[in-house]
Structure 1
Amino acid sequence: MEKPLILVTNDDGITAPGLRNLIQVMKEIGEVVVVAPDSPQSGMGHAITVDNTLYSSKVVVDKEKGAPLEYSCSGTPADCVKLALQELLDRRPNIVVSGINHGSNSSINVIYSGTMSAAIEAGIEGIPAIGFSLCDYSWNADFSGCHKAIKKITCEALEQGLPKGTVLNVNIPKTDGKSPKGIKICRQARANWKEKFDKRISPNGKEYYWLTGEFELLDKGEDTDIHALRNGFVSVVPTQFDLTAHHTIHQLNNWNLNE
C-alpha cells in the first residue's frame, strides 16, 4: 500500500529543532515532504505574500540516509502550504502537520500563530491538518517527550479523519523530556494579553517601541486548554476557520437596517 504523504511545515524556520523533531516522528508514519520558511515567521498569523516575489529552493538540512525532500520558502507559513499544494508536490498530501512550535499557541495565542495558520490554510483546502506546539520557548528545548503524543494524534487523524472545516490545535506542556500525563480534548480558554509598548530612543534620536505584555487568563473552567496544560496534559482543541458568530445572527436580524 502507498504510504500516506505528509506535508511538514512550521513558522520558526526550516532549521528549527522543533521542525527537525516533527520530521523524525512523521518519517515513522509516512512519506514526508518539508516546505518551511527560510527564516523565522513567528506571529505572522495568516499573512500571505501578495506584493513581493516568492522564492523557493530545494535544500539539504539532514544528510542522513532516507532524509525527506525539503524546500525552503521566502514567504510565510501560509505561503509555504499554498506553494506546496499548487507547485511543489506531485500529489495531494493525506495530512499537513505544522510545528513543533517553540512556545505555546494555546488560548488567544492561536489568533496570532503562524504555526496554526499553516494548518488552517491546509484545512481550507479540505486537507486534515494539525498544529503542534511545545510550551517551551527555548531554542534548545527538549522535544523528546512530545513524540509519542504527536504520533498518536497524527495516526488517529489519518485513520479517523477530521470533521469538515476543522483543524487541530495541539499544545504540549513542558516536561523536560518526560511524557505528559495524557491527552485531553479541550476548548480554547478565554484569555487576553495586557499589552504595552516599551518606548525607547535610538542613538540617532528617533523614538522606537518594543511590544511587551502579560498573559491574562479570564477563564476558570476545567475543560480548557490552559487547565489541561497547567496540569501536565496535552491539550487538543478542534479549531474552525469559519469565523461567523452564528449564535448572534438572530439578534442582528432584529436590527432596523432596512427602514
Structure 2
Amino acid sequence: MQKPLILLTNDDGVDSPGLWAAARILTRLGEVVVVAPREQSTGAGRSMPHLSNGRIERRERQEGDRTWVAFGVHGTPAQAVDHALLELLPRYPDLVISGINYGENVGTGITISGTIGAAMEAASFGIPALAVSLQTGIQNHLTHSEEVDFSTAAYFTGYFAQRILEHGLPGDVQILKVEVPALATPETPWRVTRLAMHRYYVPYSTRKGGLGEEAPLGYRVEVSPEEVSADSDIYALLYDRVVSVTPLTLDMTARYPLQALEAHLRQG
C-alpha cells in the first residue's frame, strides 16, 4: 500500500523551527516533502507577486538521525505550494500542511496570514489542507526563536493530520485551521469553533517624521471577551485556553439569500 504523501510548507521560511517540529511528527504518518519560502514571508496571505523569481534551492538538514532534503522557494507561501505541485512532487499530495506558525491566526484578519494563504492555495487544487499556528508574543512573530516550544503544537499537528488522512474532510470543509494556546499540553482539550467576526491584530502608525521617512506599520492585539462570541476561535484560544479548530471554505459568498439580495438591489 502506498504511503500517504504530505506536503509541508509555512510562511516563516524553510529554516523555521516550527516547520521542522511538524516535520519530525509527520514522518510517522507518511512521506513528507518540505517546500517553503526561502525567506520570512509572514503577512503574505495568498499573494502571487510577479517579482518572485521562482528560484528553488535544494537544501539538506540534519534532524536527529535523519538527513532531510528540503526546498527553499524564492516566492510566497502560496507560490511555494504551486511550485511543489507543479515541479517537485511526483503526484498531488494527500494532504498539505502549513505551519507550525509563530503566532496565532484568528478573527477576520486570517487572510493576511501566509500560513492560511498557503492552505487556501492547496485547497484551490482540491487538496485537503491543515493550517496550524501556535500562540506566541508578537516579539516572536518574525523570528526563528529557539525559546518557543513547538512540541504541543506538533502533537496536535500530527493528531489532526492523522484524522484527515484517515477520514478526509466533510462537506464543504476545505481547510482545518488549528490554533494552539501558548501554555497548552497534549492533554489540553480542543473545540470546534467559528471564525470570530472581529479584528484581532490592529494596525497602528509608527510615523514620527515626514511622509518620506520609513515608518512600517505596527500592530497589536486589541480584543475583549465581550466583543467576541463564546463559540469563536478568539474566545476559545484567548479566554478558555483550549485548542481552537475552525473549518474554512474558499466559498466566500455571503450567507444571504441571493434572490433577496437581487430584490434589495433592484428596489426603486
Query: TM-score higher than 0.5 here?
Result: yes
The structure 2 residue matched to 1:170, chosen from 159, 178, 184, is 178
Please say which of residues 220-229 and 23-32 is displaced more in the overlay: 220-229
The structure 2 residue matched to 1:216, chosen from 203, 217, 222, is 222
2:261 corresponding residue in structure 1:
252
Q: Name stretches of at least 5 consecutive residues in structure 1 with no aligned partner.
A: none
Matched-pair contact (CA < 8 Å) for 2:205–2:217: yes
1:52 Cα shift?
4.5
Structure with the bigger percentage of strand: 1
Whether 2:129 is the aligned partner of 1:120: answer: no
Please say which of residues 21-30 and 161-170 is displaced more in the overlay: 161-170
Name the SS of the counterpart of 1:117 in structure 2: helix
2:151 corresponding residue in structure 1:
144
1:236 corresponding residue in structure 2:
245
Specify whether residues 45 and 180 from structure 1 end up closer, same or farther in structure 2 by C-alpha distance, changes over 3 A only. Answer: farther
Matched-pair contact (CA < 8 Å) for 2:173–2:247: no
- How many residue pairs were aligned? 256
Specify whether residues 225 and 255 from structure 1 end up closer, same or farther in structure 2 by C-alpha distance, changes over 3 A only. Answer: closer
Taking only aligned residues, the RMSD between alpha carbons, in angstroms, comes to 2.2
Name the SS of the counterpart of 1:191 in structure 2: coil
Q: Name stretches of at least 5 consecutive residues in structure 2 with no aligned partner.
A: none
1:232 Cα shift?
2.2
> 1: CA distance between counterparts of 2:6 and 2:62?
17
Matched-pair contact (CA < 8 Å) for 2:13–2:37: yes
* Alignment map for 1:1-259 (pairs within 5 Å): 1-62=1-62, 64-137=64-137, 138=140, 139=145, 140-163=147-170, 164=172, 166-175=174-183, 178-179=185-186, 181-192=188-199, 193-201=201-209, 206-217=212-223, 219-230=227-238, 231-255=240-264, 257=266
Specify whether residues 42 and 194 from structure 1 end up closer, same or farther in structure 2 by C-alpha distance, changes over 3 A only. Answer: closer
Specify whether residues 220 and 243 from structure 1 end up closer, same or farther in structure 2 by C-alpha distance, changes over 3 A only. Answer: closer
